[in-house]
Structure 1
Amino acid sequence: MNGIQLKPMPRYKRTDFEDEETSSASSIPGDVTGSSTVLTDMKGGGVGPVAAGVGGARGSVAGLAPMGVRYSVSGGVHRRTFWQRASPLERFLLALVALLAFVVFVLAIVVGVSSGGVRERIIEKIVQPERKYCVTPACVTVASSILNAMDHEVDPCEDFYQYACGGWIKSNPLPDGKSIWGTFGKLWQENQLVMKNVLEDEKTELKSMAEMKARTYYYSCLDKNDTVEALGKKPIVNLLDIVGGWNVSGNYSTDTWDLQEALHLIHNVYSRSGLFSWAVGEDDRNSSRHILQVDQGGLILPSRDYYLDKAADDKVLTAYLSYMTAIGVLLGGEEASVKAQMQDVIDFEKRLANITVPAEERRDDERLYHKMTVAELQTSAPLLNWTAYFNSAFSQINKTIPDTQEVVVYAPEYMANMTDLVREYLASSKGKVIICNYLAWSMVHSMVSYLSEPFREASKVLRKALMGSDGSDTAWRYCVTDTNAVIGFALGAMFVREVFDGDSKPLAQNMIQEVKDAFKNNLPMLKWMDRETRELAKEKADAITDMIGFPDFITDPKKLDEKYKGLEFEENEYFENNIRVSQFLLRKNMQRLYRPSNKTEWEMTPTTVNAYYTPTKNQIVFPAGILQAPFYDPNYPKSLNFGAMGVVMGHELTHAFDDQGREYDKTGNLHQWWKNSTIRSFQSRAQCFIDQYSNYTANGENLNGKQTLGENIADNGGLKAAFHAFEDWLGTHPDEPPLPGVNLTHKQLFYVGFAQVWCSTETPEAIHLQILSDPHSPAKYRVTGPVSNSEEFAREFQCRKNSAMNTKKKCEVW
């Protein structure tokens, strides 16, 4: 349940691939919850990006639902399998069938290889007939899955992504309503089913009031009594009257409308967005405390480029205007008048886009950090009475904000320029109407998904222009995702009791330590670092804390109830429930200002298949949802576990040392702790990645190597650390049996397992959106980029020099 969520600063780095069903939908308008000026507990914590797991909003313009859950019958998440439920006779018959199927399977592979399948050149040694295979059910199943996903006619040294994923892509066309489809999406759908069952099955024991609230919210979303449809436009019309009206629908007066009052109500009472954003978050320079933070914000579309590159994105602006007009007409406006007024709003947004700083220019956290008092903010950006503005919010928790209160402003130039722009508009009656229309539209747009079907249908035109599909989904799937985003730790408690295998925690912790040891062992090899900085980097790696599975408090009903104390739902009040959520989150966020930082706090729900690193906590987190196949299964060969889960772990660990994470020390404080000579060496090596990825193209469009730098460094460093950890493990386990019929060494399987996590298909529009707004590279280049930089990959697949996957120039930092 997350909307635009304009936030001051990203506070954690995610592994995720921006899968449509499994991502944070913060970049797509009108997704599930609508906008919020602040980003708080259940939507990511602090001022970081919203946690993963947002799907299409009942037909509204849905989020990428990436950027962020999965479930499998094996691995970390566990439930009773059919085999466990079967009778002895059924087991005997199944075993007999499996044996016969295995014989046929191996014969088929032998025929395939002999007819020119996998190229023998890349095989270190064809497995000999007398050698023992791993013939457990898990090994047979995963061997079949691996082979079916591969394209055996492709040379892995020329296009490893196509080699590893070509079969999967061919057999997995985009499902209806999807813009991106991959391993993440498939796993998320299975996880949705688990959550649906615990929410709907009356036999499921609810152990806390919080879990009861989760069920109530879920049913309010399903709206079986058609309350939402019966209310129609009434809820949003009533809200517009409260915040000062909307000229589009006729209930507006220039004489009575006031910007300060409008922003007080829209931002600080209903927690919607517009013009700028603010939140309470951890102080980058003193991470033990919280501080007010203000940043740029206010664009409805997910990237400023949609407003500025008219030639490439005209269809998006056309769809956006159509969507705005349709909503205005549904609220009682006359079509021609609505269209003209909404075009004025778009023109204003274009001017906002012109002063909005691009993401690739906001990667140096030290340069972004500008601490001042509220009084100094008043001088630099006199848009409002800032002391009164903040007090209008904090009065809701019986606190006051003096003009001496410290605030970090991440975009002071934007705030100053935005102030001048708005003042220019307010100088005329028409301009005042445009500002009112813009703010009212921002609020309306953020709430479209709470309204009746005609409103949700109207939003599909924009979503299709942005993503290439309308995002249609079944009501229960949307509502499961929505409930997880709103009250996900309560739902997570139900999920964990149902499916999580506690043995996964120590197994995962062991693997994390192995990857961390491999990373640290590599540090002395990095001659570009000076000795002092290298030692401090080792200390930081040692200080990284890892959180596995789920936070302990969710297993204690009293503590879980305390988290959601004050949040109440009614089954027939879906619109009102979402207002209550926004107001609850606003209060929770403001209360942080008066509390020390919680270094063990989670920012993702337990069901999420993702992982993240938080620089101010120096913490890596791996929710229960990702501790399962294909990322992790204790019954799989270690090569696959290290190739998938191990790389995820290495990725998050490397984020502590990417271009942004490296600026934070071992205690999570932002300051320069590297020597200047080492910084220069790092920047030179980072430039190699910028150049490499900027030369990659997707659908004829170049990637943005600056915007994706941190994720690319993490992808490359994570792959290297995980492979070295796997090599260390093989040193003490040399007799790992091969998979039947696959004819790849375990070192080669490591890379295939890594690549197949990223098998996916996407629409051209989704790829375009990803290039414009996503810090991650497209899936293909998250595979081919790192392997082409890997000497170990070239060695294991015996790639000739200067082949596509063994280029002469290789980029490496860690």
Structure 2
Amino acid sequence: MASNEEERVELNGTDLEEVVIERRRVAPAFEPTRVRGREVLLAITVFFMTSLCIGLIVCLTTVKPAFSTAEGRRQELCEDESCLKSSVYITSKANFSVDPCENFYNYACGKFEKKKAFGDQVDDEILAEVNQRLRKVIENPKQKDSVVEMYKLLYETCLKSIERKDRNQTEDFRNILKDLGGWPILGSSSGGKKNIDLQELLQRVYELRHTDLFYITVSESAFQEKKQVIKVLTAVQILENNYEDLTDIIKKMKQAAISLGSTLTGKEIEEQALKVATLRKEIYQIASKTHITEKEQTISVSRLHEQSKEINWLDLLKLFDKSLTVKSIIELSPNLEYYGRLSELWRKTDRDTLINFLLWNILLYYSEKMKDISSPFSQNSNEKESWKKCVNVVTYSFSSAIGCDYSKTYGGDSKNIRNIIESIRSVMKQKIEEASWMDDKTKKRAVTKLKKLTYNLACEEQFTLGNKKRINFYKHINLKPSDSYIAMLKKQAKFEMFKIQKQIKSGRRTEWAIYLFSINAVYHFQQNWMAIAAPLLTEPFYSKTVPRYINYAKLGTVIGHEITHAFDDQGSQFDENGSLKNWWDDSTLQIFRQRVDCIKSFYANKTFRGLSIFNEQSLAEHISDIGGIRLAYEAFTKEKTHKILPGSKLPSSEEQIFFLSYAQNFCSKEKESTTKTTITIGQHLPASLRVLYSLQQVPEFSKAFNCKDADEMKAREQCSVW
């Protein structure tokens, strides 16, 4: 009977419990009995031959073996610290007892789900490290310009304000509410105007761009070439938070009212809070019954006002674009019916409840940047954690500048990252050139578009330290040492509005369309341009010393995803210069659409608990998920040398570890209700479904794990656009 002993490997004090070195002790395979001399001699010979073989195996597995695979790629065992950490990272999340051909997500993330609480994501661990690095960049800048001085001033003022031992922030909150006309739930202590105009209050709220009614933003038009337009969209957070449970809202509002000195009784406060919670629930129900993922539509301001008369849309939208008229065209999602139903809800709701609702939104906005007024003061975040809130406050407005300052210190090996990008671009070029279904003219245009695709790695040149454009851009926030923290937050809100107005006036974006410290990347159709946020450029997504296939699996699939967006069902409508025009041959375009329809049909036939997982908005993401995996995989297989990770529990091939590493980008633990909400409103599928269905459409995955036709992880019909 064989038995195993396990040793734990430690790196810098970290217990690497999953990377085990197995020493197998082989028990005798026979019972001692009387034997003849010839049998003894034979047994001794077998014993020594077996010992010799075992010795050779031990040598081969401990002296960094190097050998070539059938494909001609050279492999060797990697034993440095980063490889050991990668082994730990992989094995700490995977459940290798699951059949990878039946449920690969559970195989890759099963242990993560067992260890974590609902709502936890693998991203949380990464973002915690990013926040620590941001703190160092802000607190201890290596170089300074006027922008660094301003964002450091905001950070230090934030810390001082949050860490105050007294309750001065209570007065700050009271002054905010008084300035907005007073909060009825405070009773006679509200101190505001009794006849405040609701439309005026709504505009004041939207100067902070924060409410659960709807969301107003500015971005590239989906219909007009090279134009920035106002977009009115569903307030997605109303669905993400799922306000079916009213208890939590009532509890928090009551605590806030008591903290701010309400003169009402506890019962009276609860009655008013219940009305606000009920209003939020009704908004949620309207949103949840609407097709949130419908594509945006163009509409005039006057047409929107006709359908939603309770809101003065022209005055509200002129906050963002002063040149707007009733004839101006905006873009709307999901549809007019949604805003009509919101308007009717607004009309039938009593005045005090509407004011309480709007001002509660304001309090939530400021609570993200100050102490949490909805929690007892004794429970407010302690001084050790207040820096996290202040980092978020600073990066909210100074994202582009700090992105460049962060990249200078933690930007990773940009040369090798660019090599990965170019390697994946090269694979895409080859796929286009070898596509038998494309005509030569369309191929040439596609290759030209691919060649012209540009990208930024967490930093744009204009926002680098000392750049005049950076200094001129941020001077408009105009923070001064004499400003109170509240004054700085108000200036911050005005600066955000300034950026939007500048974007409308110039016709082009002022900053990236993504938060630079999120785990995200983006492709812009109208600029044929790709941006990769800072966290993706460091571990665990990229490391100079880990086997290259892990970099391709984690960062490479993201890059491949964004490059594929240039040629998905939406990106394919824009040419190499970002112009909205058809550059396809008619017959080639028809075949392209057939290939897209194959993927559409595959996802349209999938359900989760009886809920269809497909919507038109998510089609481009499905195409790019599948395309991104295949591009990165093919790019890594062209590499000449690879290193094998240590660890007895890991899969035996680099191809298998590639797919395992890819899937672990998405490890999370979600409640079923959250999964359903993501399906309803999200452009991306929930993490588990995203992994499962994309890999089902990747034949290289089935081959790597030897999945059979009847296995769940092998689609009956394989679809691929690229």
Match of 1:685 in 2: 598
- The structural deviation recorded for 1:589 is 0.9
Match of 2:366 in 1: 447
Looking at structure 1, the residues matched to 289 and 429 of structure 2 have their Cα atoms a distance apart, in angstroms, of 34
2:470 equivalent to 1:560: yes
Partner SS for 2:666 = coil
- The structural deviation recorded for 1:758 is 3.0
Q: 1:153 aligns with which of 93, 97, 105?
A: 97
Distance 1:682 1:391, change over 3 A: same
Match of 2:538 in 1: 628
Looking at structure 2, the residues matched to 454 and 220 of structure 1 have their Cα atoms a distance apart, in angstroms, of 19
- Structure 1 segment 4-153 matched on structure 2, within 5 A: 108-109=21-22, 111=24, 131=66, 133-135=76-78, 137=80, 138-143=82-87, 145-147=89-91, 149-153=93-97
Is contact 2:442-2:583 (8 Å) kept? Answer: yes
2:363 corresponds to which letter in structure 1? Answer: V
Farther-moved stretch of structure 1 (569-578 vs 709-718)? 569-578
Distance 1:441 1:139, change over 3 A: closer
Match of 1:340 in 2: 271
Q: 1:210 aligns with which of 147, 151, 154?
A: 147
Farther-moved stretch of structure 1 (278-287 vs 205-214)? 278-287
Q: 1:695 aligns with which of 587, 607, 610?
A: 607
Looking at structure 2, the residues matched to 514 and 682 of structure 1 have their Cα atoms a distance apart, in angstroms, of 25
Is contact 2:401-2:464 (8 Å) kept? Answer: no
Looking at structure 2, the residues matched to 224 and 232 of structure 1 have their Cα atoms a distance apart, in angstroms, of 8
Match of 1:478 in 2: 389
Partner SS for 1:757 = helix
Distance 1:271 1:761, change over 3 A: closer
2:327 equivalent to 1:327: no
- The structural deviation recorded for 1:571 is 8.4
- The structural deviation recorded for 1:621 is 1.1
Distance 1:131 1:452, change over 3 A: closer
Looking at structure 2, the residues matched to 254 and 352 of structure 1 have their Cα atoms a distance apart, in angstroms, of 27
Match of 2:698 in 1: 790
Looking at structure 2, the residues matched to 773 and 330 of structure 1 have their Cα atoms a distance apart, in angstroms, of 36
Q: 1:362 aligns with which of 285, 288, 293?
A: 293
Structure with more relative contact order (C-alpha pairs < 8 Å, separation 6 or more): 1
Is contact 2:113-2:668 (8 Å) kept? Answer: yes
Is contact 1:550-1:605 (8 Å) kept? Answer: no
Is contact 1:225-1:572 (8 Å) kept? Answer: no
- The structural deviation recorded for 1:196 is 2.2
2:125 equivalent to 1:190: no
Partner SS for 1:180 = coil
Give unmatched runs, 5+ long, in structure 1: 1-96, 99-103, 115-125, 308-313, 462-469
1:417 corresponds to which letter in structure 2? Answer: G
Looking at structure 1, the residues matched to 483 and 22 of structure 2 have their Cα atoms a distance apart, in angstroms, of 57
The structure whose Rg is larger is: 2
2:184 equivalent to 1:247: yes
Is contact 1:570-1:577 (8 Å) kept? Answer: no
> Structure 1 vs Structure 2: percent identity of aligned residues?
22
Looking at structure 1, the residues matched to 642 and 397 of structure 2 have their Cα atoms a distance apart, in angstroms, of 44
Q: Deviations over 1:170-215 (max 9, x none)?
A: 6x545xxx83142x322222222222233334xx444112112222
Distance 1:805 1:566, change over 3 A: same
- The structural deviation recorded for 1:657 is 3.9
Match of 1:434 in 2: 353
Q: Deviations over 1:155-175 (max 9, x none)?
A: 3323333433445556x545x
Looking at structure 2, the residues matched to 252 and 433 of structure 1 have their Cα atoms a distance apart, in angstroms, of 14
Q: 2:120 aligns with which of 169, 180, 193?
A: 180
1:424 corresponds to which letter in structure 2? Answer: R
Q: Provide the aligned C-alpha RMSD in A.
A: 4.3
Distance 1:459 1:683, change over 3 A: farther
2:457 equivalent to 1:548: yes
Looking at structure 2, the residues matched to 336 and 153 of structure 1 have their Cα atoms a distance apart, in angstroms, of 54
Match of 2:238 in 1: 301
2:655 equivalent to 1:756: no
1:179 corresponds to which letter in structure 2? Answer: G
2:341 equivalent to 1:413: no
Is contact 1:488-1:605 (8 Å) kept? Answer: yes
- The structural deviation recorded for 1:274 is 5.8
Match of 2:216 in 1: 278
Match of 1:231 in 2: 168
Give unmatched runs, 5+ long, in structure 2: 1-9, 12-16, 28-57, 68-75
1:185 corresponds to which letter in structure 2? Answer: D
Q: 1:515 aligns with which of 424, 439, 449?
A: 424
Match of 2:626 in 1: 716
Partner SS for 1:442 = helix
2:691 corresponds to which letter in structure 1? Answer: V
- The structural deviation recorded for 1:725 is 1.9
Is contact 2:219-2:228 (8 Å) kept? Answer: yes
- The structural deviation recorded for 1:622 is 1.6
Is contact 1:553-1:559 (8 Å) kept? Answer: yes
- The structural deviation recorded for 1:493 is 3.8
Farther-moved stretch of structure 1 (351-360 vs 603-612)? 351-360
Is contact 2:205-2:362 (8 Å) kept? Answer: yes
Match of 1:776 in 2: 684
Distance 1:198 1:113, change over 3 A: farther
- The structural deviation recorded for 1:487 is 1.9
Partner SS for 1:455 = coil
Structure 1 stretches of 4+ with a deviation exceeding 6 A read 104-107, 252-255, 458-461, 470-473, 524-535, 671-674
- The structural deviation recorded for 1:619 is 1.9
Looking at structure 2, the residues matched to 509 and 240 of structure 1 have their Cα atoms a distance apart, in angstroms, of 50
Is contact 1:266-1:272 (8 Å) kept? Answer: yes
Distance 1:262 1:454, change over 3 A: closer
Is contact 2:523-2:562 (8 Å) kept? Answer: yes
Is contact 2:528-2:577 (8 Å) kept? Answer: yes
Looking at structure 1, the residues matched to 376 and 283 of structure 2 have their Cα atoms a distance apart, in angstroms, of 28
- The structural deviation recorded for 1:766 is 5.6
Distance 1:664 1:228, change over 3 A: farther
Match of 2:513 in 1: 603
Q: 2:226 aligns with which of 264, 283, 288?
A: 288
Match of 2:44 in 1: none
